[in-house]
Amino acid sequence: MHMLLSNSMLHLAAGAEQVTALDKFKDFVNRWSVPQYSLPMFLLLMLGAFFGYRKWTKPIIFWPMMLVFTIVYFGFIPLDESYAAILQKPDNVPISMMIFLTLYFLWLGLRQAAINDHNMEVGKPLIEEDREDKVLCWPDLVYTELLAMVLCTVVLIIWSVCLKAPLEAAANPAGPPNPSKAPWYFLGLQEMLVYFDPWMAGVVLPGLIILGLAAMPYIDTNPKGNGYYTFKERKFAILTWMFGYLILWCVLIVFGTFLRGPNWNFFGPFQTWDSHRVDALTNINVSDIWYVVILGGKLPSSMLVREWPGLVLSGFWFFALPYLLTKIKFFGRLRTQMGFARYYLMAVLFVVMMLVPVKMVGRWTMNLKYIIAMPEISFNL
């Protein structure tokens, strides 16, 4: 009797301890998942992945890592209701797909880059090197295509049978849900609304993404790395592009779908979406910083006088910085290699992209809202 009792008490105690340990862990994750901590961490992770690509892409390292990640990713579904709700929302299933497929294909690409870069160093041929080796499309290609089609059909049918497409209540023009979210593939842009006004987040930035993508082949004059996987020969191009794609596009989509709740407040993965939570906003503009904080006075009434610090800063960023960058050896070399037009097109697109993280850091460290604030003419940057 005594034995039994103490045994079950022991179990109880152990159980209680486990719960708190788990709670502590969840709390820890919630606290560290806010953008100001997690985005820099994702960036470090990305840089680590690219500079350490020769090591971790070995299958013997990659697959166990992927396995652990998968277990952790899905393992928390039974352990946490909020997390389960987010992950199991039908329209969020594509996000999980995107995460896993992107990781897998990033590996597949970098793995081949690692092999190729090594082979080039030791004078062995590239994986893709088979100039003389042509095969007929029938059967080699058409059968692969047929198989891919069959496989894709099977996956799509299973997915469709198992998971109903979402359908909510009939449209009610008077009753917006909270949060109101754009389709998931635009949530990176909606996340930009936290840091920019709609004319930037919804029009200028996406416009420049499209323009920049289209201009890319005409800007990138590096003749190397054409038609085969490599990282070593195209470090700057790959890192810049991947920063835009992985961090500013994909990670922000994950934030927007998984972690943005009512009123677009940020919630950790294990936090319940509380629609009454009010996040205090005490944002200030560059003009406030200059006239009020630094000079200790009041804002001037004339718009242009008031905003000159922001105008100067922006002018510096968009016009002077592309030129000043050429003083750095690396960019100077690019400038001579690429010529005037190409270099400045690239540099302006580059600083526009970099404005995004700069404004984020400004927000996180000093509650910066606008660099230029001219609500009089709806021009806030």
* Nearest CB to other proteins, comparing residues 9 and 97: 97
Residues numbered 116 to 155 that lie near other proteins (CB under 8 A) are 126-131, 133-142, 144-145, 148-149, 152-153
Of 198 and 364, nearer to other proteins (C-beta) is 198
Rounded to 5°, the CA angle 163-167-173 comes to: 160
244-283 residues near other proteins, rule: CB under 8 A: 245
Return the structure tokens found at 286: 């560059």
Which one among 230, 257, 285, 287 touches other proteins, defined by CB under 8 A? 230
Which whole-number Å values give the CA distances from 84 to 93, 100, 232, 272, in the listed order? 12, 17, 41, 11
CA torsion through residues 174, 177, 182, 187, sign: positive
Nearest distance from residue 224's CB to other proteins, in Å?
8
Kindly state the number of chain residues that form the binding site for other proteins, as judged by CB under 8 A: 93
The angle that helices 329-338 and 340-366 make with each other, rounded to 10 degrees, is: 140
Residue 271: other Cβ atoms inside 10 A: 21
Q: With the C-alpha atoms ordered 97, 103, 107, 113, is the resulting torsion angle positive or negative?
A: positive
DSSP symbols for 343-367: HHHHHHHHHHHHHHHHHHHHHHHH-
Interface with other proteins in residues 171-210 (CB under 8 A): 171-173, 175-177, 180-183, 185-186, 189-190, 197-199, 201-204, 210
Name which of 82 and 230 has its Cβ closer to other proteins. Answer: 230
Q: Please select the residue that binds other proteins; options are 21, 65, 79, 97, rule is CB under 8 A.
A: 97
CB of 54 to other proteins, least distance (A): 16
**Which of residues 56, 241, 318, 344 is near other proteins by CB under 8 A?**
241
Among residues 168 and 279, whose Cβ is nearest to other proteins?
A: 168
User: In angstroms, what CA-CA distances link 150 with 144, 145, 267, 282, 321?
Assistant: 10, 9, 40, 56, 52
Question: Residue 209 to residues 48, 203, 236, 338: CA-CA distances in angstroms?
Answer: 25, 10, 18, 21
Window contacting other proteins (CB under 8 A); options: 36-44, 71-79, 104-112, 357-365: 104-112
Tell me the one-letter amino acid at 95: I
The least CB distance from residue 221 to other proteins, in Å, is 9
- Per-residue DSSP letters for 79-109? T-HHHHHHHHSGGGHHHHHHHHHHHHHHHHH
The residue within the footprint of other proteins, chosen from 60, 122, 167, 281 (CB under 8 A), is 167
Is residue 112 a contact point for other proteins (CB under 8 A)?
Answer: yes
Binding to other proteins in span 34-93, by CB under 8 A = 91, 93
